Every structure is written in C-alpha cells, then in structure tokens.
Amino acid sequence: MLRSRLLTPILRRTSLITGRSLYSSSVVCHYDKKTSTSKDEMDHFNQLAETWWDVNGPQRILHKMNLLRMDFIQQTLRNHIQLNKDVTNPDDEIYVPGYSLKLLPKQISEQILLEQNLKRDEIQRDQPKLNILDIGCGGGILSESLARLKNVESVKGIDLSTDVLKAANLHKSLDPDIESKISYELTAIEDVPKTEIFDLITMFEILEHVNFPNEVLSSALTHLKPNGWLFISTINRDFVSWFTTIFMGEHVLKIVPIGTHHLDKYIDETEIKDWFKKKPEFEVKDSKGCTYLPFKGWVFSPTPNVGNYFMAIQRVK
C-alpha cells in the first residue's frame, strides 16, 4: 500500500488498493481462511476495473508509481551488466573509470556514458529475451510496460480477481504490439506449476498484506531461473509509514478503506535483507526508498529504510 503516501486532496478518491492487494488479501484467505474483508475489497475492485486504465482517473497514482517501478527494474538490470566481461582485446574495452564521472568535464563524462550505454544496449540485444512473471498483476499496468521492452519475450500476469483480469485482457487487446506477449491467469503463486520458471519475477505491494510473507516469498523464489531477478516492494514498519499510509491514507484523506493496512504487517528493509542472508543462493543487489512528492510524482529517496521501498534480489547459485 505504498500508494497511500499521498497527502494531497487530489488523491482523495484515488484508491491505493490494486490487484496486488486483492491478490494478497486472497492470499490471506488462502492461508488462514478468514474472508471477513474480502467481500468489501472485491466490490471495491469491481468498481476499479472500469477505470483501471484511465491515467487521469482514480488509478493515476498507480500509473505514476509504475514509472518509478520501471525505472528501478531497468536501472538495476542495466547497472548489473558487466561491460567488459567477454572482451579479450583490451582495445575493445569500454572505459569504466574507477572514480565518479562528475569529476570529469561534462563533454567527456557524457561521451563515456554514451559509450557505456550503447554497449549495454548491445549486450542486452544479444542476451536471450526475458520471460517474466508478474505476481498480482491487477489491470496489467506493469505487465504491459514490461511486455513493451525490446528484451522481453513474454509476460505472465497472475491475480485472484476475475474483474481486474477482465480489464487487463481487454486493455492488452487494444495494442497490437503486446497482445501476444502477455498472458493473464487467475491463479495464486502457490498453484503455478513448479516447472514454470522465469528470468524475472515482480511482486510489487504484496508482502505487506499477507499473513505469512516468508511463505509467499519462498514460493515465488522457487520459480526463479539461475541468475534470475526478483523485484519486490513493500513498506517499512515505522512512524513515517504509519503516518502516511494509515493515518493520512485511511483516516484523514480516506483514500483507502479503514483497516486496509496493518502496521504490524509492514516489513522493514533490514528484515528482508536478514531473511535473505540465510539463503546463500540469493543476494539482495539493491534497494531504494521511494516517496511521493505532490506536483512531481514518485521519486527515489536515499533512505530505503524509511517508508516505502523497492528491492532487487538475484539468484546467484
């Protein structure tokens, strides 16, 4: 529910609940069979399905959030490309200075960056195309963005709401470029066949809604190929998060129904890092905080341990 970090009245009617949270609340049901909130949320989602793709409608804030998610995914993938890995001739090496590019004159640093980026493009072009699993895909905002990338082969989006998946299927059929690259399925991550493995799995705004996040996380990880990436986002359990997502989001601005969030379900960035320390086959490669600035949109913050954050995990073994 990171989207509740919005304090402006414009967002008053903006729902912070996405397919992801429905997915997750259903996951809650899945594990403890309590369905007390799911009827309300289901109605809420049915209403949302119609306006899901209206970028100026109630989901605008989610559409804006998606921009930063994509930036995070793209930057992480590109930053972890080893530029001179397969280069044998030193003359062909791309120059990677051992110090900040800011120390160089602008023209030179721009030239270096340009060369590095062209090399990254080249490497990405030559790599096998990615197969992606988007857990809690909702109306398909992230799935469609991923599917449009040139280095993506296919995207499978899963969710537990029939209505949002209907909206997702309808919308993808409008764009001939991506229609055949995406498939949506009404299923939980636990029910995805073990044989299906992916280069990249996304799970945005899920963990803070499930009762047993470690089980959901473990389940997702079993579908990751060697060297594959998992991208997640959730919320730190701190005062800032309580103030923005619960106090402002639920009680003052009433962007989401009261009771949507439970502070005790929020997970600190350090807790996830610690959890992965016990799993040597995975490495947390990056985490970045994110903040909503009125009039500007979502921006990265230098503090992944406050409020909302993204995290990138790679299977290294």
Partner 1 sequence: MSLIFRRALAYAVDSAPKSFEPKVVDVLVVGGGPAGLTLAAGLKNSPIARELKISLIEGFNLQPVKDFHNNPPDQFSNRVVSLTPQSIEYLQKIGSWNHIKEERVQPYDEIIVTEGISDARLNLDTPELATMVENLNLQSSLYQRIKELESQSEDNFGLDILDNTKVTIIEKDPINNWPIVHLSNGEKIKTRLLVGADGFNSPVRKFSGIESRGWFYNRFGVVGTLKLEYAPYRSIGWQRFLPTGPIALLPLPNDNATLVWSQTIENSELLTQIGDDLFVELVNAGFILEDIEMRYYYRKIKAGETKGLTDDIKWRVSIASKKYTEDELDEKFPVKVISVNEKSRARFPLRLSHADSYVSDRIALVGDAAHTTHPLAGQGLNMGQGDVQQLVKAIEIGLQRGLDIGNTLVLEPYWANRYPENHMLLGVVDKLHKLYSFTSEPMVQLRSFGLNALNQISFIKNFMVKTISGK
Which residues define the annotated binding site? Answer: 69, 136, 159, 204-205, 208-209
* CA–CA gap between residue 295 and residue 265 (Å, rounded): 30
108 or 118: CB nearest partner 1 = 118
Do residues 131 and 199 lie in contact, with contact meaning Cβ atoms separated by under 8 Å? yes
One of 87, 96, 108, 174 touching partner 1 (CB under 8 A):
174
Q: Which of 175, 185, 191, 281 binds partner 1 (CB under 8 A)?
A: 175
Closer residue to partner 1 in complex, CB, 56/88:
56
Query: Using CA atoms, how far apart are residues 194 and 133, in angstroms rounded to an integer?
Result: 13
Q: Examine residue 250 and tell whether it contacts partner 1 (CB under 8 A).
A: no
Choice between 55 and 96, CB closer to partner 1: 55
Asked if 222 and 194 count as a contact pair (C-beta separation under 8 A), the reply is: yes
Residue from 7, 29, 42, 70 binding partner 1 (CB under 8 A): 70
Nearer residue to partner 1 within complex by CB, 179 or 191: 179
- Token pair of 289 as six digits: 């905080």
Q: What is the DSSP letter of 18?
A: -
Between CA 131 and CA 315 the distance in angstroms is 15
CA–CA distances in Å: residue 82 to residues 134, 191, 195, 240, 313: 26, 35, 29, 37, 17
For the sheet containing 224-235, what is the strand order?
182-186, 152-159, 130-135, 198-204, 224-235, 308-315, 282-293, 297-301
In this complex, which beta carbon is closest to partner 1, that of residue 282 or of residue 298? 298
The interface region with partner 1, picked from 40-48, 144-152, 270-278, 284-292 by CB under 8 A, is: 144-152
Binding of partner 1 by 14 (CB under 8 A): no
Distance, in Å, from the CA atom of 10 to the CA atom of 28, rounded to the nearest integer, reads: 31
User: Is there binding between residue 17 and partner 1 (CB under 8 A)?
Assistant: no
Give the separation between CA 72 and CA 288, rounded to whole angstroms.
8
194 scored as a contact of partner 1 (CB under 8 A): no
Interactions with partner 1, residue window 91-120 (CB under 8 A): 117-118
139, 168 Cβ separation under 8 angstroms: yes
Among 50, 71, 215, 238, binds partner 1 (CB under 8 A): 71
Taking CB under 8 A as the criterion, the residue among 29, 42, 44, 64 binding partner 1 is 64
Q: Does 63 engage in binding with partner 1 (CB under 8 A)?
A: yes
* Contacting partner 1 within 271-310 (CB under 8 A): none
Q: How far is the CB of 134 from partner 1 (least distance, A)?
A: 12
Please say which residue, 67 or 96, places its beta carbon nearer to partner 1. 67
Structure token digits, residue 31 = 């594990």
What are the backbone angles phi and psi of residue 286, rounded to the nearest 5°?
A: -160, 150
50 scored as a contact of partner 1 (CB under 8 A): no
Q: With CB under 8 A, what is the number of residues at the site for partner 1?
A: 22
The residues binding partner 1 (CB under 8 A) are 55-56, 63-64, 66-67, 70-71, 74, 117-118, 121, 144-150, 174-176
